[in-house]
Amino acid sequence: MDTAIRYRRADALAKASDASWHEVERAPQEKVRALQQEKLVAQMAYLKQNSPFYQQKFAAAGVDFDDIKTIEHLQKLPYTVKSEVRESLAAAPPFGLHRAAPMSDIIQMQASSGTTGSPSYVALTEPDCEMWHEMSARCFFANGIRPGDMALHAFSMAKGFVGGIPVLQSLQYMGAIDVPVGADGGVDRLLRALADTRPRCIVGAPNFVIHLAEKAPEILGMDASELGVERLIVGGEPGGGIPVIRERMEALWGAKCCEMLGGTDLGMAYWAECDEQSGMHMVSMDYIITELLDPESGEIIPFETGAKGEMIYTALGRQASPMVRFRSGDYIEVLGMSCGCGRTGAKIRCTGRTDDMLIVRGVNVFPSAINSVVRELVPDTNGIMRIVADFDGHTTQGVLKVIVERGTERAADQDAYLKSLIETRLRNALVFKADVTIVAPDTFEKPGAAKVAFVLREFPDLP
Ligand SMILES: [Zn+2]
């Protein structure tokens, strides 16, 4: 009987010198498309049999499962939006009306890190888990992790987020070794584990990876760059793709930094940057169909260099929590359609989440972009900022209030100068008017296990 439990893929170690983890990553577009359409037909047949949620949704839209045979046919179907998923979860806990596999087949659950309300719970069958490992392994491999490497786990291990267990399992699957401390283990413990085990790679959120490096001299009595780390694999928040933040990480650690992107509903990660560092490739086209939605026109637009929009995902081969035309809320820009690494998947940069985007007098402003400008002004600032969105929703006709921490070495009598400097930079770089308040260093919490919430809903009490 071939029922041996395997944590590591049998041929993992033999892949160390391959050009990519899987050959599909380098397959010609036409071949990929044919494979996707074949798997799409199979997924539709699966949903027709097993998903009352999509049976209802398709019926309401007047579309038959058998009519969906090409990627373009997907445009006949409505989107699946997050509020719908939340309602479905509330109506039939724990995995919602959209669960499409028997409970007895489910072996794992994950939770999104949702910044508002309850997280979104996702169920995985054994084949679903294996698919997640495979997608993440392709990302880690593109990012520069190799079988046999050790990687310090600097995402949160607890709270059920995909940065925890799925990262560990995927590293194991690809033949790498996870150093399982986790951001929630604390900076001190992480740095000591790093100094003891000397892993080649670190996986974590960009702002936290910077924070770790900044703490190294105090805790270990040495610079982060002396610890022998060669690769920084970052994700979970924008930053890895923002030049000033990437340069800071690379300088502090003396290591190369590559980004990845995913989202709990579809998998831990399925976009990843290669050595060229020029945007994240789609590496899982045989498991996910991507469409690009222009939020202004409401049209699906082609993937071509310069195209911008919200990413729409349809899972292929997914059993327990399938998604069809899921609106991810990730706002991306296509940076290229070919690459020196040989991968054929479009290269993107995630500019921000459409949920986080603020509209200031008609201009789209992403909090991560403001963070990047403030980071550029280190050491005048210490790189830490908060936005005060003291208005309803995401739109204001007023001036946007931004609070910035003064640089540790700077004196308070320079605050007026610093305020005007930041306001000018923000106006020039992002085309909106800010009202900046300068505060002392360490006013706000440092980046830790949780994602940094850049936006406050009311002006805080300041010392
Ligand atoms: Zn590439």
Query: In CATH, what number is assigned to the domain containing residue 175?
Result: 3.40.50.12780
In the sheet with 358-360, reading across from the earlier edge strand, the strands are 363-365, 358-360, 395-396
By DSSP bridging, strand 381-388 and strand 395-396 are unpaired
Residue predicted with more confidence, 372 or 343: 343
Asked if residue 223 and residue 310 are part of one domain, the reply reads: yes
Confirm if 333 and 347 have CB atoms less than 8 A apart.
no
SS3 285: coil
Q: Of 322, 353, 384, which marks where a domain is finished? A: 353
pLDDT mean over 173-183: 97
Model confidence at 448: pLDDT above 80: no
- Residue 361 confidence class, pLDDT cut points 50, 70, 90: confident
pLDDT at res. 241 = 87
pLDDT mean over 79-105: 95
Confirm if 277 and 258 have CB atoms less than 8 A apart.
yes
CATH classification at residue 426? 3.30.300.30
Q: How remote is the CA of residue 244 from the centroid of ligand 1, in Å?
A: 21
List the one residue out of 273, 337, 9, 285 whose CA is nearest residue 141.
273
pLDDT at res. 1 = 45
Asked if residue 9 and residue 158 are part of one domain, the reply reads: yes
CA distances from 288 to 157, 297, 370, 444 (A): 26, 24, 32, 39
Q: How remote is the CA of residue 280 from the centroid of ligand 1, in Å?
A: 8
N-terminal to C-terminal alpha carbon distance within the chain: 68
| Distance (Å, whole) CA 39 – CA 316 | 6
- The answer to the question of residue 463 being in a domain is no
Q: How remote is the CA of residue 343 from the centroid of ligand 1, in Å?
A: 5
- The answer to the question of residue 461 being in a domain is no
In the numeric block, the tokens 């539709």 are attached to 44
- The answer to the question of residue 462 being in a domain is no
Q: How remote is the CA of residue 58 from the centroid of ligand 1, in Å?
A: 37
Q: Which residues pair with 138 in a beta bridge?
A: none
Q: How remote is the CA of residue 34 from the centroid of ligand 1, in Å?
A: 22
Confirm if 139 and 271 have CB atoms less than 8 A apart.
yes
Q: How remote is the CA of residue 407 from the centroid of ligand 1, in Å?
A: 37
Q: How remote is the CA of residue 57 from the centroid of ligand 1, in Å?
A: 38
List the one residue out of 322, 267, 325 whose CA is nearest residue 51.
322
Q: How remote is the CA of residue 329 from the centroid of ligand 1, in Å?
A: 24
Model confidence at 117: pLDDT above 70: no
pLDDT mean over 346-368: 84
Asked if residue 12 and residue 103 are part of one domain, the reply reads: yes
- The answer to the question of residue 318 being in a domain is yes
Model confidence at 15: pLDDT above 90: yes
Mean pLDDT of all residues belonging to the chain: 93
Q: Of 333, 353, 373, which marks where a domain is finished? A: 353
Q: How remote is the CA of residue 348 from the centroid of ligand 1, in Å?
A: 11
Q: Which domain holds residue 24?
A: 1-353
SS3 115: coil
Q: How remote is the CA of residue 341 from the centroid of ligand 1, in Å?
A: 4
List the one residue out of 176, 124, 233, 152 whose CA is nearest residue 8.
176
pTM of structure? 0.86
Domain count, the chain: 2
Q: How remote is the CA of residue 274 from the centroid of ligand 1, in Å?
A: 5
- Residue 393 confidence class, pLDDT cut points 50, 70, 90: confident
Q: Of 323, 353, 383, which marks where a domain is finished? A: 353
Q: How remote is the CA of residue 24 from the centroid of ligand 1, in Å?
A: 14
Asked if residue 180 and residue 66 are part of one domain, the reply reads: yes
Asked if residue 10 and residue 60 are part of one domain, the reply reads: yes
